[in-house]
Amino acid sequence: MLNSQPSQPTSELSSQAASQTVSAAVAKLYDTYPFPPEPLLDAPPPGFNWRWNWLAAYNFCTEQKPVKQNIRILDAGCGTGVGTEYLVYLNPQAQVVGIDLSAGALVLAKERCQKSGVAADSATSRVEFHHLSLYDADQLEGEFDLINCVGVLHHLPDPIRGIQSLAKKLAPGGTD
């Protein structure tokens, strides 16, 4: 009996299996040792980093002032939410979405944003979190004006596929 479904090449199947194995190992590592291990504070985040500020990041990339401030930001590989917290705090008109492979790190990210006050109740919060791989960013609704992805791509078995997945979510005129 012939199989009516076209089969995938063996190399593609083994590549997918390797990718899933590596992703599972990375998730286990960060569930055990959430990163970054910054303390949870009952105050806004201290200091300033230009890359987390839409106006500064956009100007750095384009040498222009952005036209809009009510933007969507994706924090891809948000970990324990240190960067996410800054993204919400430094961009008061933005909606911020954090994704990470580690469910344990996401628990801390949510707690961090609640404790510092950047995430109010769920009805008015400007931040949300999803347990997703960068490879699955296409599952998120809409596009993003700014994509923050720090210390993540080098963990992927196929970093090019990861950046391509994120690039598909970047709005025209956005920055990553």
Q: What is the DSSP pairing of strand 144-148 with strand 72-76?
A: parallel
Task: For residue 97, give the CATH number of its domain.
Answer: 3.40.50.150
29: in domain: yes
Report yes or no: 141 and 72 within 8 Å, Cβ to Cβ: no
Q: Give yes or no for residue 3 having a pLDDT over 60.
A: no
> Can you tell me the distance from the alpha carbon of 96 to that of 63, in angstroms, rounded to the nearest whole number?
23
Average pLDDT over every residue of 117-135:
84
170: in domain: yes
2: in domain: no
Q: What does the DSSP assignment read for 33-99?
A: S-SS-PPP-SSPPPS--GGG-HHHHHHHHHSS--S-S--EEEEET-TTSHHHHHHHHH-TT-EEEEE
- Domain tally, the chain: 1
Q: Give yes or no for residue 162 having a pLDDT over 50.
A: yes
Q: What average pLDDT does the chain have?
A: 83
Confidence of residue 24 (pLDDT cuts 50, 70, 90): confident
Range of the domain at 75: 10-175
> Can you tell me the distance from the alpha carbon of 80 to that of 109, in angstroms, rounded to the nearest whole number?
4
Tell me, what's the pLDDT at 90? 92
- pLDDT tens digit string along 82-103? 999 999 999 999 999 999 999 9
97: in domain: yes
92: in domain: yes
Tell me, what's the pLDDT at 111? 93
5: in domain: no
Report yes or no: 169 and 143 within 8 Å, Cβ to Cβ: yes
Q: What's the one-letter identity of residue 69?
A: Q
pTM of the model: 0.78
